[in-house]
């Protein structure tokens, strides 16, 4: 929600948007020190928070997992693994990556979102 807005979530979206800008600014501040600063913007990863959101909407998470493909080539449901992205960013393969806010959401950002 730092890259997109959502109704009735002003404070949450603003705090996530701040992380996006902090990442960019800190990358510039520390570039001369050869310190890379990046952030990961995860999508709908199956967490307790997601379960609580779905419960408020009377949605059973397993039904969402079985029926929601975010993009044609993406894995269905809440299968995101943010740690894969973090491992990449921490590796020497990402030595030229700094100031990036990497969206890891199975293509959801290209859709209207998973929540019914």
Read off the pLDDT of residues 10-35 as tens digits, 9 standing for 90 and up: 999 999 999 999 999 999 999 999 99
Is residue 4 included in any domain, yes or no?
no
In this structure, are residues 43 and 82 in contact, taking their beta carbons and an 8 Å threshold? no
Question: Does residue 96 have an active-site annotation?
Answer: no
Select, from the ranges 30-39, 73-82, 104-113, the one with the highest average predicted confidence (pLDDT): 30-39
* Backbone region of residue 62 per phi and psi (left: phi > 0; alpha: psi in -120 to 50; beta: other values): alpha
Read off the pLDDT of residues 83-98 as tens digits, 9 standing for 90 and up: 667 888 999 999 999 9
Residues in Cβ contact with 86 at an 8 Å cutoff, skipping those fewer than 6 apart: 40
Is residue 89 included in any domain, yes or no?
yes
Is residue 19 included in any domain, yes or no?
yes
Is residue 1 included in any domain, yes or no?
no
Would you say the C-alpha torsion 109, 88, 2, 105 has a positive or negative sign? positive
Is residue 115 included in any domain, yes or no?
no
Say how many domains are in the chain. 1
Is residue 53 included in any domain, yes or no?
yes
* The pLDDT of residue 46 is above 90: no
Is residue 2 included in any domain, yes or no?
no
**Could you tell me the CATH number of the domain that includes residue 40?**
3.40.50.720
Q: What domain range includes position 99?
A: 10-110
Would you say the C-alpha torsion 59, 62, 66, 70 has a positive or negative sign? positive
- Average pLDDT of the residues of the chain: 78
Is residue 47 included in any domain, yes or no?
yes
Whose tokens are 């998470």? That residue is: 61
Residues in Cβ contact with 68 at an 8 Å cutoff, skipping those fewer than 6 apart: 76, 77, 114
Q: Catalytic residue, from 4, 6, 10, 12: name it.
A: 12
């Amino acid at each position: 929600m730092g890259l997109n807005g959502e109704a009735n979530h002003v404070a949450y979206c603003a705090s996530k948007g701040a992380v996006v800008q902090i990442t960019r600014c800190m990358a510039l501040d520390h570039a001369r020190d050869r310190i890379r600063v990046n952030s990961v913007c995860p999508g709908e990863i199956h967490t307790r928070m997601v379960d609580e959101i779905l419960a408020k909407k009377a949605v059973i998470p397993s039904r969402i997992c079985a029926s929601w493909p975010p993009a044609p080539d993406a894995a269905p449901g809440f299968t995101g693994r943010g740690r894969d992205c973090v491992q990449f960013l921490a590796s020497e393969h990402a030595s030229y990556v700094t100031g990036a806010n990497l969206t890891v959401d199975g293509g959801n950002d290209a859709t209207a979102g998973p929540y019914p």
